[in-house]
Amino acid sequence: MMDVREWVNQVQLHAGKQGDYIRVQSHPSFLQPIGVGRSAAVFRLEGHPRLALKIFHPLFWKDGREEASAYRQLGSHLAYPRLHEANDGYLLLDYIDGMTFYQCLIEGVPITEEMVAQVDEALSHAETKGLFPSDIHLKNILLTPDQNIIIIDLARFSTPKACSKWSDLKKAYDRYYATGRFPKRVPERVLIWIMNQYRHQGAHFSAPYFSSKS
Closest CB 37 distance from Mg ion, rounded Å: 4
Q: Rounded to an integer, what distance in angstroms lies between the CA atom of residue 74 and that of residue 51?
A: 19
- Residue among 103, 106, 125, 122 at smallest CA distance from 114: 122
Residue nearest to ligand ADP (CB): 37
Site string for ligand ADP, 27-66 (x = CB under 6 A): -------xxxxxxx-x---------x-x------------
- As a dihedral over the C-alpha atoms of residue 123, residue 159, residue 81, residue 1, rounded to 10 degrees, the angle is -160
Q: Which is nearer to Mg ion, 38 or 125 (CB)?
A: 38
Give a three-class secondary structure readout of the chain. Answer: CCCHHHHHCCCEEECCCCCCCCEEEECCCCEEEEEECCCEEEEEECCEEEEEEEEECHHHHHHHHHHHHHHHHHCCCCCCCCEEEEECCEEEEECCCCEEHHHHHHHCCCCCHHHHHHHHHHHHHHHHCCCCCCCCCHHHEEECCCCCEEECCCCCCCCCCCCCHHHHHHHHHHHHHCCCCCCCCCCHHHHHHHHHHHHHHHHHCCHHHHCCCC
Q: Does 156 bind ligand ADP (CB under 6 A)?
A: no
Q: Which is nearer to Mg ion, 4 or 22 (CB)?
A: 22
Q: Is 54 annotated as a binding residue?
A: yes
Q: Which of 135, 153, 168, 174 is catalytic?
A: 135
Which among Mg ion, ligand ADP, none contacts residue 54 (Cβ within 5 to 8 A by kind)?
Answer: ligand ADP
**135 is a catalytic site residue:** yes
Q: Does 13 bind ligand ADP (CB under 6 A)?
A: no
Part of the chain binding ligand ADP (CB under 6 A), chosen from 82-90, 94-102, 123-131, 198-206? 94-102
Which among ligand ADP, Mg ion, none contacts residue 95 (Cβ within 5 to 8 A by kind)?
Answer: ligand ADP
Q: Does 100 bind ligand ADP (CB under 6 A)?
A: yes
Which among Mg ion, ligand ADP, none contacts residue 39 (Cβ within 5 to 8 A by kind)?
Answer: ligand ADP
Q: Does 119 bind ligand ADP (CB under 6 A)?
A: no
| Residue positions forming the annotated binding site for ATP | 54
Catalytic positions, please?
A: 135
Residues near ligand ADP, by CB under 6 A: 34-40, 42, 52, 54, 81, 93-96, 100, 139-140, 152-153, 155
